[in-house]
């Protein structure tokens, strides 16, 4: 082990790379915490089990076998390649060469698997590129996938190829260098050994190529790490906390507004004791919060966490009955809009503002967006989209990382109804009927049993609202 200028340079590059990522991660954490508080404590074992199945085990991906298989290759490749990154980091910092070689046969298994997965990753990336750009997979064609999201998806694929090329350059040059020097290179290199013929027979050139591959691989990884916060690929980190904090209650169960629940209970049962409203620590009254959500800070922090976990895969939109029948609603777009809006209003991770890149192109020309009052509701998501939702939960069921677009939709609808009385007319009629008749229909409670008049019924008990 010897410490050289190269090690010092690597130390500086690594500190800069991880430091910049930590700076961006802090901004994203702050963005998530602008959401409303929601107590997610408890049920730790249940949550860990779900994280193991859904996030680590990719359980929900296996509903569609082709993309599941391709994704599995990239996912396992990512995990195994990370072991190699640890080796590169140690070598870079301490001047060692293939530090993990002391593992012996296990090292051969690791490097061999790494190479095979690297080659499969390149093939999977080609298939992904073709599916996204050349074939007509409907879920990759929504208006919200234009501009930055489309470019982003392709950048990720190109970067993965560049990283793999750098890896094979490093290994093949190192292998040939050792062969020409009559030495054994520890490890197994089933792919690179096929590529050595492409490399020169010159020792100096091979040493340079090995270093170029090594530096390109690790600098590429650090750049990619810092690109993640601006990309949908951030899900490779955020999917884990998002699944951990996802709902445990049955999917069809809606949350109630506590204050309204108390009011209704008090109406139904005069003896019901309405709890005293919560206060600040100094005993003063809490500032009133609006019903539902108008903007991102009215949503729960878990909804904002979900916005950073979305893979933009479109599985939710592809099963949404509203979307399938030509309505404007796309649950994927609701989640993407939430992330764009929180970064517009608060912190953008980088100086570059990806959410604004081609912002116009990302919206359907039919959307009636309010450009003056730029909030999540109306500035990004229109009431027309929200009222198209049938609350069927199909999007929630389909999401591979347990995102719940319906929760945000319901919160924005609540705002429209309870704060603006801006429900569609058909719903307003139903609300009046519930208020006046105790039922959604336009009939008096006393007429409720009229249908039984001609039946063999001897006595009717009048019903009151």
Q: In whole angstroms, how close is the CB of 55 to ligand SF4 at the nearest point?
A: 12
Q: In whole angstroms, how close is the CB of 344 to ligand SF4 at the nearest point?
A: 19
Q: In whole angstroms, how close is the CB of 328 to ligand SF4 at the nearest point?
A: 11
Q: In whole angstroms, how close is the CB of 193 to ligand SF4 at the nearest point?
A: 39
Catalog residues that contact ligand SF4 under the rule CB under 6 A. 310-316, 320-322, 329, 331-332, 335, 389-395, 398-399, 401, 403, 405-406
Q: Which is nearer to ligand SF4, 19 or 252 (CB)?
A: 252
Q: How many CB atoms lie within 10 A of CB 140?
A: 18
Q: In whole angstroms, how close is the CB of 407 to ligand SF4 at the nearest point?
A: 10
Q: In whole angstroms, how close is the CB of 323 to ligand SF4 at the nearest point?
A: 6
Rounded to whole angstroms, the Cα distance separating 445 from 442 reads 9
Cβ atoms of 103 and 114 within 8 Å: the answer is no
Rounded to whole angstroms, the Cα distance separating 87 from 98 reads 7
Q: Which is nearer to ligand SF4, 235 or 294 (CB)?
A: 235
Burial class of residue 328 (count of CB atoms within 10 Å of its CB; 0-12, 13-18, 19+):
buried
Q: In whole angstroms, how close is the CB of 390 to ligand SF4 at the nearest point?
A: 4
Q: Which is nearer to ligand SF4, 169 or 382 (CB)?
A: 382
Q: Which is nearer to ligand SF4, 210 or 340 (CB)?
A: 340
Q: In whole angstroms, how close is the CB of 310 to ligand SF4 at the nearest point?
A: 3
Q: Which is nearer to ligand SF4, 332 or 341 (CB)?
A: 332
Q: Which is nearer to ligand SF4, 212 or 410 (CB)?
A: 410
Q: In whole angstroms, how close is the CB of 51 to ligand SF4 at the nearest point?
A: 16
Q: Which is nearer to ligand SF4, 28 or 395 (CB)?
A: 395
Q: In whole angstroms, how close is the CB of 156 to ligand SF4 at the nearest point?
A: 15
Q: Which is nearer to ligand SF4, 196 or 330 (CB)?
A: 330
Q: Which is nearer to ligand SF4, 118 or 292 (CB)?
A: 292
Q: Which is nearer to ligand SF4, 166 or 335 (CB)?
A: 335
Q: Which is nearer to ligand SF4, 112 or 321 (CB)?
A: 321
Q: In whole angstroms, how close is the CB of 386 to ligand SF4 at the nearest point?
A: 9
What secondary structure, in 3-state letters, does the chain show? CCCCHHHHHHHHHHHHHHHHHHHHHHHHHHHHHCCECCCCCCCHHHHHHHHHHHHHCCHHHHHCHHHHHHHHHHHHHHHHHHHHHHHHHHHHHHCCCCHHHHHCHHHHHHHHHHHHHHHHHHHHHHHHHHHHHHCCCHHHCCHHHCCHHHHHHHHHHHHHHHHHHHHHHHHHHHHHHHHHCCCCCCCCCCCHHHHHHHCCCCHHHHHHHHHHHHHHHHHHHHHHHHHHHHCHHHHHHHHHHHHHCCCCCCCCCCCCCHHHHHHHHHHHCCCCCCCCCCECCCCCECCCCCCCCCCHHHCEHHHHHHHCCCCCCCHHHHHCHHHHCCCCCCHHHHHHHHHHHHHHHCCCCCCCCHHHCCCHHHCCCCCCCCCCCCCHHHHHECHHHHHCCCCCCHHHHHCCCCCCHHHHHHHHHHHHHHHCCCCCHHHHHHHHHHHHHCCCCCCCHHHCCHHHCCCCCCCCCCCCC
Rounded to whole angstroms, the Cα distance separating 112 from 191 reads 8
């Amino acid at each position: 082990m010897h410490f050289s200028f190269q090690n010092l340079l690597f130390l500086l590059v690594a500190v800069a790379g991880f430091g910049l990522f930590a700076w961006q991660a802090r901004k994203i954490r702050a963005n998530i915490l602008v959401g409303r508080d929601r107590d997610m404590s408890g049920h730790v074992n249940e949550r860990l089990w779900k994280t193991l199945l859904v996030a680590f085990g990719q359980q929900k991906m296996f509903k569609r076998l082709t993309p599941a298989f391709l994704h599995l290759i990239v996912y396992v490749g990512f995990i195994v390649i990370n072991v190699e990154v640890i080796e590169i980091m140690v070598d870079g910092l301490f001047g060692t060469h293939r530090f993990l070689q002391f593992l012996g046969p296990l090292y051969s298994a690791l490097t061999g698997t790494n190479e095979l997965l690297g080659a499969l990753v390149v093939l999977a990336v080609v298939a992904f590129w073709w599916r996204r750009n050349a074939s007509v997979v409907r879920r990759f064609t929504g208006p919200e996938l234009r501009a930055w999201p489309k470019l982003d998806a392709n950048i990720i694929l190109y970067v993965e190829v560049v990283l793999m090329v750098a890896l094979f350059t490093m290994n093949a040059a190192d292998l040939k260098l050792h062969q020409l020097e009559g030495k054994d290179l520890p490890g197994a290199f089933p792919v690179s050994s096929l590529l050595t013929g492409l490399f020169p027979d010159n020792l100096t050139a091979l040493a340079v190529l090995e270093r170029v591959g090594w530096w390109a691989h690790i600098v590429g990884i650090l750049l990619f790490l810092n690109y993640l916060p601006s990309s949908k690929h951030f899900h490779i980190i955020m999917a884990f906390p998002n699944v951990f904090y996802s709902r445990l209650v049955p999917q069809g169960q809606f949350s109630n507004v506590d204050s309204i629940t108390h009011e209704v209970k008090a109406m139904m049962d005069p003896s019901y004791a309405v709890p005293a409203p919560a206060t600040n620590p100094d005993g003063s009254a809490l500032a009133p919060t609006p019903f539902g959500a108008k903007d991102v800070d009215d949503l729960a922090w878990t909804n904002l966490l979900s916005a950073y976990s979305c893979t933009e895969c479109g599985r939710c939109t592809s099963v949404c009955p509203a979307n399938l029948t030509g309505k404007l609603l796309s649950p994927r777009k609701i989640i993407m809009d939430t992330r764009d809006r929180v970064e517009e209003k608060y912190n953008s991770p980088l100086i570059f503002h990806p959410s604004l890149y081609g912002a116009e192109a990302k919206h359907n020309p039919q959307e009636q967006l309010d450009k003056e009052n730029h909030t999540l509701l109306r500035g990004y998501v229109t009431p027309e989209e929200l009222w198209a939702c049938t609350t069927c939960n199909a999007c929630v069921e389909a999401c591979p990382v347990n995102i719940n677009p319906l929760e945000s939709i319901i919160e924005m609808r609540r705002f429209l109804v309870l704060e603006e009385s801006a429900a569609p007319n058909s719903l307003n009629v139903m609300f009046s009927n519930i208020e006046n008749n105790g039922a959604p229909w336009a009939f008096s409670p006393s007429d409720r049993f009229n249908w039984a008049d001609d039946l063999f019924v001897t006595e009717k008990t009048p019903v009151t609202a």
